[in-house]
Structure 1
Amino acid sequence: MRRAAFAVAAGAMAVSLAACGSAKESKDKDTSSSAPAAKKGDDIKVGLLLPENKTARYEQFDKPLIEKKVAELTNNKGKVFYNNAQQNANLQSQQVDTMITNKVDVLIVDAVDAKAIKNSIQKAKDQGIKVVAYDRLAEGPIDAFTTFDNEEVGKAQGEALLKALGDKATKASKIVMINGSVTDPNAAQFKKGAHSALDGKVTIAKEYDTKEWSPDNANSEMEAAISAIGAKNIAGVYSANDGMAGGAITALKAAGISVPVTGQDAELAGVQRILAGEQNMSIFKSYPTEANVAAEMAVALAKGTSLDSIAKTKVDSDSAKNVPALLVPVISLTKDNVNETVIKEGFYTAAQICTGKYKADCDKYGVK
């Protein structure tokens, strides 16, 4: 497994695992139903359900990384059965049914709607299928969970926005917040973390919970905010991810506004916007680390072996207690640490980033 944290150049900010964040830790009696099953060999079937394909990470990173790790852990005997829900909770429920029919040994589920998936997870459990909640803490009797420390993500974004504002970070400064989807529990944690950094230091003039993490919706919300607040009165924009940042920046440009904008996920377009000065920062996440952990958990559960060497903490959801978990740390990505993050980790090459108009920006910041 790749290391979970990286050497960070000046200006970068590593976020500690020690901080409380993605889910509440618990000391209560374990009720997560994660006891090992009967032992199996390498010939296992893993169901992988990812939530959507508007965000580049799922098809580009998560799916191939999990497939690769499962193959590695099972001597190429394990099979991964994959479906993407395309942001449709009902479709994802049907996909769980299909996985049950295919008699998978374990499910890795990144839920479209963390609450709506509960009954489907219960159905899988009733058929003896173990469940790993991936990236989002799904409700229901899950056996394991891995994600990034989500409140710390939002806090890092908020702190980066304040730093970019400098002496303009006053209670009179008007900020627009564009948060993620209300059906995604991670979005609420990003939002909480961001508010912990921003509240009392700036004025949140407009705030939106953006349906489906949609860049188009973020663009419309930014246009509405500009109309309501006034182009000259917006000091900065908190955007929960890079896709929505792109939509917001399009609206800002059209109105002749240049202000700091945050992001998350280190999407290629986001990295390019950071180098060009259009976006202030993103959150870099080691998807290889998260994907490898999920695959390790899934294979261990399918084989009936212990999670003790993988899961370093416990988390609670509303319906499961003391779920074995591992929270992966994150890094604030700026123009100063592109080499040490996305390039070093193999997300992109300099050639992919430094195309056309971005070549001069790459040269300026030593991206190679």
Structure 2
Amino acid sequence: MHAFLKGGSGVTGSTGGEKKKAPPRVLPWIEKYRPKGVNDVCAQEEVVAMLKAVLIEGKELPNMLFYGPPGTGKTSTILAMARDMFGNLMKERVCELNASDERGIAVVREKVKNFAMTTANSQRADGKKCPNFKLIILDEADSMTKSAQEALRRTMEVYSKGTRFCLLCNYVSRIIDPITSRTAKFRFRLLPKEIQYNQIRHIKEVENVNISENAVEELISVAAGDMRRAVNFLQSLHRLHAEEITPDDVRDVAILCPDGKISEVVNSARSKSYDNLVSKVKGLLQDGYPACQFMEQLMDAIIADEGIEDGQKVNIINQIGKADHALTDGSDENVQMMAIVSVLQRELSR
């Protein structure tokens, strides 16, 4: 034991007079392959057209509100815009905050207000014209409290001359009207499959990922339009399965419930054996499948099942919706899954 420790310390020491080289920095692929500028942004033509007009034609940049599903490029687009506008001054001119972590009124009064008060009078190193305003990016702004949003609205008014705001959110309905009326709203849509294919194939070639074409299709299907999710899954799969990535590997890393397991739950509900149904559900939980994933796949199976009447589907899906809402409020997964399968058995055993 002591000999092993001594030998280990000798390897890492400086006995040879050489300094140990620091390992190369490894970036997550989602950061490595972010768009470097507005021209690199895929899809979202409406937003890109407006941003190019600001950059090329020198039009005024309004306060903006980007909303849409996660993984559709909201953060990547505004950061690409900031790089094009500010160049080497980006760190001085851009303040990026995640409103879901810092969403109280104190953040608006301190961080946002203090940054908005600073002057912006530096020149870019490359000699290009630089706007005379700063940019504040508030990610996940729909997580901010109402009082914080009201304080933000006042800050946007007071410092409108030297500061622009870009709010990013998934649900525009959670942003108060006084803010939405003061911003140009842009909806980000789920990325088309062709664009996702192109990006995955590009990463596959650059990183030498050995993934079958069927697995690529499965990856796109599992990601459901979320590019960030697809890239993260691809990087995880590359680390776990260096030889070849198969569709089964994709389903495993996405923690998808096997279709056969979902069918067993539905068939158990039809058989009127509650004990058997409970054992199937508990087996899914013990195998590590998340309740939210089970609910999503069960809903898809219920919708696609032509043997279930429309009225029954409505009642089952209504209970799935209630369970999903309860889970976001911190409810127990087992309790909510039991509530779903109880309604499922009641409807299918009639």
* TM-score after normalising by structure 2: 0.29
> Greater helix share, 1 or 2?
2
> Greater strand share, 1 or 2?
1
Q: Which has the larger radius of gyration?
A: 2
